[in-house]
Each structure stands twice: as structure tokens, then as C-alpha cells.
Structure 1
């Protein structure tokens, strides 16, 4: 048995030896047919060549286009597509991108340049939610002829001024400041004490009892019109106003001069401001007076009078009577600019239509120049506590006039260190007002002409004036008197008829109809709301951020199938995926380098020796 096993093992070894010899013979034949370089390369294989950077970028873009959800990109990156197909889809995709970008640009321009839309409120506003308009009345006769005959002094001053005393000359020059512009003598005083000029004007102006004959508020007669009206100083001199805020609520008194007051009443607003209106729970009878409905019975009626002996036809021309202005209770009136007349012996019926503009708080993040209004906290006025466009314009005119002329009109608000103009500077005041308007128009037209051309329009400048124009121009650029975001104005519809008071007295057969009463002329004015309700205008966003995003997203989705996930996809391919590919490539390179350093080259196939060979 042992011999049999031994023979079996020997036979197996011989078989293996035969196989090894065949393998060695085959390897030797192959080695003989190859060059040494080939054999060496097989023994020591070369490292794989690195792909170029352009090839890596190309493969990366193909990877993105193949996986992107944007329409048309996958046809550009597919390998089986022909060049014609790829060019077609690339052209279509480019056209869609350009067209979409153009439309989005139009949406952006519209949103950027006109983000505000003015619309009507959904519900009408009752008139009791807003204050009754402030009513300011000014007499056209500035000086009573019995106290100061302005016409007589005009001729004396122009013919032989030396015949007048200094006080008479000063009185004439002061009164001329509230008359027509051409009546102020250019050779008069350029500057004067404001308090002296105001006192001279007040001393000869008709007082309240001489102007008002009777008053009724809500069809309830007032014993004395001073309960409703109070004196106010304006550019027209001494006037009388109803339902206006008090001086400490309208002005910043610390910044104003202390020579004389503009308003002479101590009534204060009770839980009302321009922005918020009346506070919830405010009583019906409050101040400023709120509207109480529509019609004559709920409004203001007053009877004005004038004596023919006191009328002056030179100071204000041939038209006599009264100037009346309706304005916001928080505004200082300018009856020299806006008014309607109440002639003598006429009855004027005034139907008032409120115009209330509110602004959505969604517009507060926008720049004031974009929304075209100021919220109260955004614009500080030096002389006024309440910002309105009228108050801003008056303050701007005051500062511009001071910069241009070195003084201001006594009816304008001004600081304690400013000088008051007089007759010698009247032309400069008028020219400054026209220059400010012209500069504002030029700025609105966005012209780039020389700003000195702003003095055209019939005005001339001297060398001294040119020195002050740059400073005045700098003042005007700071004005920017946009409307208040909450503004309240009153439109007046007037009608009038003859008021035959003489026939009325005779009809009553009054026994005390004396000759003195015959010298009087009367005028009656009735002011009331036309309707019980009105439609409020509301300034709101034309495009909010959500609307703008929705419009842009709709265009992107329509032309390219773009979505928020497309943005995430682009960010992913530019950041996370790129980092991961670079990391994998670097790891693979490290592994190859490690294997090459630790690998031992094997023997050549020709040197393979059987382990059992001799």
C-alpha cells in the first residue's frame, strides 16, 4: 500500500512538472516576441495620465445639465444628441433667458420708480371723524381811513417825503408791507424792528368787533364772535381764524423769536393729531371742532361788516370785501396765495368737500422720494411741530428769503437772530419767492443748465445778489417739501347772491335804522360740509415684495421652468457637489500613490523557475 501511494504521488508531481514546463515555454515564447521596453513596461506599468482641467469642467457641466430641472438643458448635455440638436437647444435656451431678463427688468423698473398706487378706500368716511376746516378771514382794507389815510400818505410820501415826520414815514412804510407790492417805496427802510412794524399795523387794522357782526356755530348764535374767532398774524397782516391749533401745538416756540405772537388764543387740541385723527372715545364736543353732519344747520355762519368811510381803494385796489381761506387746523394759513372772496353786500355759500389722503404702513420701509410723502417722524421742521407740505413750504420760503435778502417778512416764522425786512426790501422778497418757484420747477424738469438762469422770469440780480445766491440755492435744495403721508385738505364750492341788508332792515321796520347804519355794508358767509360722508384716498403699495417675487417667479417659470429648487440646485453644484468631487478625487489620488509606493515589482516571465527544478 505504501508503494502504491508513493507511485501515485510521483505521478502527480510529474504531471505538475509538465504543466509548469509548458507555461514556462509559453512565457519564454511571448517574451522573445516582445521588445525589452514592452517587457519592462509590463513589469513596471506607468501611472494613468491625468485628465486636463477643461475635460473636468466639461464633464462637470454635462453632469449639471443632465441632472438640472431647467427646461432644455438636458438636451444640451446628452452625448447621444447630434451637434445640430445641441445648437438648437442652446439657442432656444439663450433666447428664453434674454427675453425673461428683459421682462423682469421692466417689472423691476416699474416697482422701483412707481411702487405706490393711489386708490379709493373700501368704505366711506363720515365727516365726524375729521375736524371741521379752519376758517381764516382777512379784511381787504388794511388801515382804517379814519385812523390812517393810506391814500393821502402815499401821495405825500411820493411827492415830498420831507414834509412827513419820521414816525409818519415809518408808519406808511410798515403799512405798505401788507399792500400791493408796487406801493412799497424802494427808497424806504430795508430793515425794521418786527415788533414795531406789527404794532403799527395792528393799531390801524379793524379789530374783531369792527369786522364781525354776528356768528353762529351749528345754528347756535354766539354772544361774542371772539368765542369762535381769534386774531392771527399772516402775510396779509392781522386776520381772524376759527378752529386753528394753539401756538404751543403748532410752533416750536423755543426756535421762534419772542417779539410778537402769531396766534392769540389758548385753545388746545383734545386727543387729536393729523396722523391718527381723533382718539377712540373722544367726546362729540372737542377741539378742534369735529364735523357734525352736512348742511347749513351743522356748519359755521358769520356776518361781516365794513364802514364805507374806512374803505381804502389804493392799498388793495378796487375790489373790497374779505379774503377767506379754508385750511388744515395744523397749518399756518397763507391768504396771500390761496383764498376765495366774500364781496360786500353779497352772501357767499361755501359747500366743503374734504380731501383726506392716508398711507399704508407697508410703505414705511420705502424711501420718502419713492413713496412721495413724509411720515411725521421722518421730517423735522425747525419752526413747526406738525409737518405738512404748506408748513414746510413756508419755512423753506422764510429761510430762502433770509439767505437771499438778509431779512424775512414779519408774517413768516423766523428765528430770534433774524432781521425783519421793510419797504426797501419788498422787491427782494418778491424776487426771492419767484426764484424759489423757478428753482423748484427746474429741479422737477431735471435740467442741467446753469442755476443762475433761475433768476430769469422778469427778475434781475446785482453783484451783491449773486454772492448770496449760492447760499440761497443750498437752502432750496434742502427743502424737498413732499406732501405729508396723512394730509387733509378742503375743497370749497362757492355760490353767491346779493345780500340786500338795507331792504331787510326796512322790512323789519326797525326804528333805530340811523344814518350811521346806512354807512355800513354787510356780507354773510355760510360754510358747511356738502355731504355726510366722503371717500378717502389711500396711498398703498403697487408691488409689495411678495408681488414682485411672484411676478419674477412667474416669468422665470414660464420661460425656463425655474423655481426655488433650481436656485438650491445651482448652489449645490457650485458648492457641496464641487467640494465632494474634489475630495473624492484627492482621496483616490492618495490611494494610488500609496499603492505605488508599497508595491514590489515581480520577476520577468522569462525568469520564472519551478520550485522543484534543479
Structure 2
């Protein structure tokens, strides 16, 4: 019965090659040949479909260039953060002198407690090896921050003049505002204010990271500027390209205030271009503006967007987070840099029991001081290799704090934001003879120890090409690829599936129902038998 049923299916199926297997007039050799060919096609087709599935499952995203270019006025001008390499002015606090006194047993006792504490506070923003290991491990964050602000130069002692879109400003305070970073007191332009950047309800109240109140009128990282946004808005947007459409500022320093121990022999300024919705980390990325040099910075934006079709995919498959998918405890805006900063804060707290004063942190976290600098440095290194070290189970149980810290690191998963903006800087520099310039304008040049530097930042081009994440294989594409392979190898289609279901269900039921009918009904229902009965009746009559 089963054999006859299979023969019936192979004879009527629309799959290529099956009918030759079920035909009675075919020889055994022919049937074996077609059975082998059909099996090989099924196996090969299955392998190819499996490869298509793996490609769709592992890498469903393709990054391509947008069809049209994006004008620079549709994105914000980069936020510019400037940090002076001298953290404590020598005329206010001679860090070099206190370093030698602090590390000399004979002179250490001559220092007052206030002087020792000031030295330890300043060492937090100097090179790591200068921090005294015997110093305080913890301190009050607000006291440390106040000390650094008092010792570092203020905005009028750093900026001499500023121009925005070729319009001179009466004071650079119209453009730049103080910001607290890992490098200490710095100054930033075009960054969102604290209420829009941080979740202030989760932060400590001891001190502020940002000290300005400019409010974003309309821009968000995800949606950009609405169509009705005016050209003059905040954060500032680009209006063109070239030096006359950008930012120019003149920096100054006094030779007598320079310190060559804290940050080494290279004096001048660190500058970072970043997203307005990010807290800058100048300890990781920056370019320099040396003294007596003019630095020209041509900016090339890099923008990545993501199609709405990728929202149903898991974040790990598309390799990015939409804003609603990832919550940060200290930041309102999710970016990869903000996530990494928050992750480093939590990891350092778990590893060292304290955090750097420049890291946004909660009210229950302690601020580290000079004695904890080696631990903070090691924590930053360990975080980078946390995934590798987490596989070494022997190490996990060797140190409780390390095990807890790795659990924190495992929760980071700081993927890029699905919409991100970065700014690449192409720099060039030349000698800046400010004294010759002053003499040409017949301006006084009495301050012989005065040093200057000029920085010009502008968009290199009026448009740029945006990158875009989109589906490599959608469900329709995957189905079409599989259908093409099945049709190529076996002549398989949707009707073939219906045919198989028919032979497994409806046809079996009909055959079984036919077998359950009474035999008499079958005889009388048969035309051949009825004809024979009629003939017998006729013979009997005759």
C-alpha cells in the first residue's frame, strides 16, 4: 500500500526527476540513477540555503553610501573643547618645586597639609607617574575641583580674541564656557547644557561639570534640525565652508606660567572636536595647538544613519542602538562615547572603590585622589581587555573586586548609536609671529614673555556623503533567494508544498474513506459490474 502510494506521488509530482523513479516501465538502473541525482540536488540545495541563512542571520546589515549628499547646514557645527597643558600657573602654584619638596624626605615635613593636598590634587590632571602613591586615596570632590579651578588660568587668561562666522566677538565668553573634564578645567564651544546632556537627578550635587545655560532649541541627534529651524540656533549649525564660515580664536599664555613637569615638554593646548551631545575625553583623543603656531583645521563630518527597516532586528545583529533601546544612568543622550564613559565610571568604582572627579557619577560614589591613580590607570586598561580576561575563570575567583568589576564590564556592550556624527580634522600649521603682526598694526608689544597661538576651524566642503545602515537581506529577499535555489535544483515552488501537504493529508483521508464504504455499494457503483448484470438478466429472459 505505502509503495503504491509513493509511486502515485512520484508519478504526479511536479518536482524534477521524481517521476522517473516511480514509473513502472523504467529499469532498476535508471531508477537508481535518478534517485542518486535527486538526492544530490536536495543535499546541495540544502547546503546553499544554509549558507544564505547564516549570512542573513549573522550579518543582515549592509553599510552603503546615501544616494544624495548632505549639506553641512543640516548638522550642528562640531563642539570644540580647549584645554591648556599647564594645569597650575607657576606664578600661583609652582608644581615643579612642590614635586621635588614632596618627594624629598628632608623637605616633605616642611610642607603644610594644605600644600601637600594642593600638590596631590594637581597631580590628578598631570602625567600618571607623577602622582604620589603615598598620597590620599580619597578626597572630597568639590574641594579638589575648587582647588584646580583656582590654580588653573581662567578664560580671560587663555583667550585673547574670538570670531564666529567672520564676526569678531566682544568677549570669548560669548562663545566658550567652562567645562570640567578628566584634564581638569577646560573651555567648550557649542556643547549642550547640563540639563540636556546629563540626567542631573542621578548625578551628585557637589560640583557642576558644565557652567552655561545655552539651551538647544530644536536639535536632537536622532531627528536633527526640524525643517522650520532658523539658521541662527543652538547648537550652532554650519552655514557654509571655508575660513569665513567657521570659528577662529586666539590663545595666549605667559612664559612665566608654563610648567614643563606636569604634562611634559610639549606646551600649548589640546583641542577636541566632538558631537555636541557628548562629554569630551581629551585624555583619549585630541590634536595639539602649539604655542607660536597657527593651526588650520579643515573638518570633514562623518554621519551614519540607520533605516527604519532594521528596527525589528536585535541590536547585536544590527550593531547599533536606537535611542529608546539603551538607557544610560548619567547621560540623557546615548552615544558610544557617553556609554563608554559611564561604563568606565562604574568599572573604576567597582575596582578601586572610587572614581575620577572628571567622571559623571552618582551621590554615593567616592572621588579618588593621588593614591588611587595607579588603580584608576589599571582599571582603564583592564576594561579594554575585560572580555578576554572574563574567559579565565581562575582569575575571576582570585580577586573579589576584579570579579565584580568584570561583571560590570560584561554589562557595558557599548555599541554605536544608530545615528551618529563624528568630525574628522585635517590639520596644518605654520609659525605664528604675533609680534611682527602687532608691530605691523603699531600695537604695543611690551609683554616679552607673552606667547600666542591661533586656531581656525571650518568645514572643508559644503556637502558630505552620509553612510547608511540598511537591510542586506530582508524576509522577502531571503525567501526569494531560497525559492531561486529550490527552483534551480528541483523545480520546487509553493504549489509543491501544497502538493506534499495534499498527499499527506487530504488524499490519505479520501483513500481511507473510500475503503470504509460497504462492498455492495462499491459493486453497484461500478459501471462494468452493472453492465455484466444486465447481460446476465437478458440471457435468462431469452
TM-score computed with the length of structure 2 as normaliser: 0.94
Partner of 1:334: 281
Q: Does 1:244 align with 2:176?
A: no
**Following the alignment from structure 1 to structure 2, what is the Cα–Cα distance between the partners of residues 588 and 317?**
106
C-alpha distance in 1 between matches for 2:325 and 2:75? 23
Which runs of structure 2 are paired with 1:576-587 in the superposition (5 Å)? Answer: 576-587=506-517
- What pairs with 1:252-291 in structure 2 (closer than 5 Å)? 252-291=199-238
Q: Which residue of 2 aligns with 1:36?
A: none
Of 158, 169, 176 in structure 2, the residue corresponding to residue 211 of structure 1 is 158
- Aligned-partner Cα distance in 1 for 2:517–2:392: 68
- What residue number does 1:47 align with? none
Deviation at 1:401, TM superposition (A): 0.3
Q: Determine the C-alpha separation between the residues in 1 that align with 2:451 and 2:400.
A: 51
Please say which structure displays the higher CA radius of gyration.
1
The separation in 2 between residues aligned to 1:533 and 1:63, in whole angstroms, is: 68
Does the 8 Å contact 2:348/2:379 carry over to 1?
yes
Task: Write the mapping of 1:301-450 to structure 2, written as runs, cut at 5 A.
Answer: 301-440=248-387, 442=388, 448-450=391-393
Partner of 1:269: helix, strand, or coil?
coil
CA deviation digits over 1:364-391, x for unaligned, max 9? Answer: 1111111111111111111101110000
Q: Which residue in the other structure is 1:146 paired with?
A: 91
Q: 1:502 to 1:87 in 2, by over 3 A?
A: same
Query: What's the counterpart of residue 82 of structure 2?
Result: 137
Q: Which residue of 1 aligns with 2:419?
A: 486
Distance (whole Å) between structure 1 residues aligned to residue 378 and residue 81 of structure 2:
27
Deviations 1:213-267 (A, max 9, x none): 0000000000011110000000000000000001010101111111111111111
Aligned CA RMSD, in angstroms, stands at 1.6
CA contact (8 A) 2:160 2:251 kept: yes
Within 1, Cα distance between the matches of 2:357 and 2:249?
29
- What is aligned with 1:227? 174
Give the Cα–Cα distance (whole angstroms) in 1 for the partners of residues 520 and 187 of structure 2.
Answer: 96
Shift of the alpha carbon at 1:110?
1.2
Alignment-derived partner of residue 475 in structure 1: 408
Q: 2:442 is matched with which residue?
A: 509
> Aligned to 1:112, which of 40, 50, 57?
57
The aligned residue for residue 93 of structure 1 is 38
CA distance in 2, matches of 1:191, 1:266: 31
Change (3 A) 1:590 1:327: farther
Q: Secondary structure at the match of 1:494?
A: strand
Deviating more after overlay: 128-137 vs 73-82: 73-82
Q: 1:77: Cα distance to partner?
A: 1.3
Pairs aligned (count): 521
Which ranges of 4 or more aligned residues in structure 1 deviate by more than 4 Å?
447-451, 588-592
Whole-angstrom distance in 1 between the partners of 2:363 and 2:449: 44
Partners of 1:371 and 1:149 in 2: CA distance:
53
8 Å CA contact 2:435–2:445 kept in 1: the answer is: no
SS in 1 for 2:305: strand
Distance 1:590 1:196 in 2: 107
User: d(CA) in 1 for partners of 2:391 and 2:487?
Assistant: 43
Structure 1 residues 584 and 344: CA distance shift in structure 2, 3 A: same
Q: Output the TM-score relative to the length of structure 1.
A: 0.83
Query: Equivalents in 2 of 1:109, 1:156: separation in Å?
Result: 65
Question: Which 10-residue stretch deviates more, 501-510 or 147-156?
Answer: 501-510
CA distance in 2, matches of 1:525, 1:300: 8
**1:84 to 2:29 alignment:** yes
The aligned residue for residue 529 of structure 2 is: none
Mapped partners of 2:383, 2:506: distance in 1:
61
Cα distance in 1 for partners of 2:8, 2:313 equals 43
Cα distance in 1 for residues equivalent to 2:472 and 2:335: 24
Secondary structure at the residue paired with 1:110?
A: helix
Provide the C-alpha distance between the structure 1 equivalents of 2:452 and 2:311, rounded to a whole number of angstroms.
50
Gaps of 5+ in 2: 523-542
What's the secondary structure of 2:517's corresponding residue? helix
CA contact (8 A) 2:241 2:461 kept: yes
Residue 385 of structure 2: SS of its match in structure 1? helix
Select 2:467's aligned residue among 537, 557, 560: 537
